[in-house]
Amino acid sequence: MFNNVLSEAIKDGLGIKVILLLIALRIIYVWVLKADPLVLIRGVINFRTHRLENMLNRPCLTDNDKNCILQELRQINHLSLTGFRSSRLQDLAVEFSLKFGLPGRYLKPWRRYLSEDNGRILFDYSRYRRNLNLYYKVNFPLSTGILIFILLLANLRLGEEKFFLTMILNLYCWYIPWIILTTPAKLDISDQMHNYVLSFNMTRDDGNRHSDSTVTLR
């Protein structure tokens, strides 16, 4: 009975349609989850920026109002510069980039694993390694298996003459975008970033201890 159902699904192309629909929905979900919503709507940000800049010229605003507007403009600009929404991480990312001569968005690939605590950048290394293992042991083999299954169904349904076109469409319509969106940063690059973060935190800790001792002497 199962063979008959499968044969009918292949004949009608239902299996391929359902799988492609599920993959498309999953790609959209991961894309929205991984991407920064504020970066995705740059037009809205630009409109907001121009509106705030125009508000600065209004004579009815107090100094506190203007300072609040400047602070929000600074946060919007730091979002574009660093890729972080948190104002604390934005400031730390700028300081981090200046210290090591790195681009402002250097830390963005690890954004989901980074947090701030008392002026220090924290990297959730165990979570990163867990996601990395899941990618290589589950996500990549499963995605490749689904691709092969779709191509086999398409070959039975459409024939060998359209197999190459079907393969190209599947590769570029969902497989490659999915792999790009879900691939974590490489381990060697992440280890290098982690060493940068540890060095950065040590420098800040030394600076804080020096400041505390100076205050105590006074």
For the stretch 72-101, pLDDT in tens is 888 888 888 898 988 899 999 999 999 999
Distances in Å between the Cα of 180 and the Cα atoms of 17, 106, 139, 166, 177 are 23, 18, 12, 20, 5
217 Cβ neighbours under 8 A, 6+ residues apart: none
Q: How far apart are the first and last CA of the chain?
A: 87
Q: Helix crossing, 63-82 with 42-55: angle to 10°?
A: 150
Strand partners, 139: none
pTM of the model: 0.68
Range of lowest pLDDT (38-47, 50-59, 107-116)? 38-47
Q: For a pLDDT cut of 90, what percent of the chain falls above it?
A: 36
Number of alpha carbons in the 13 Å side-chain half-sphere of residue 27: 16
Range of lowest pLDDT (16-20, 76-80, 165-169)? 16-20
Predicted confidence band of residue 45 (pLDDT cuts 50, 70, 90): low
Q: Taking all residues of the chain, what is their mean pLDDT, rounded to a whole number?
A: 80
| Closest by CA position to 196, among listed 49, 51, 55, 97 | 97
pLDDT at 217 over 60: no
| Residue the block writes with tokens 């509106």 | 51
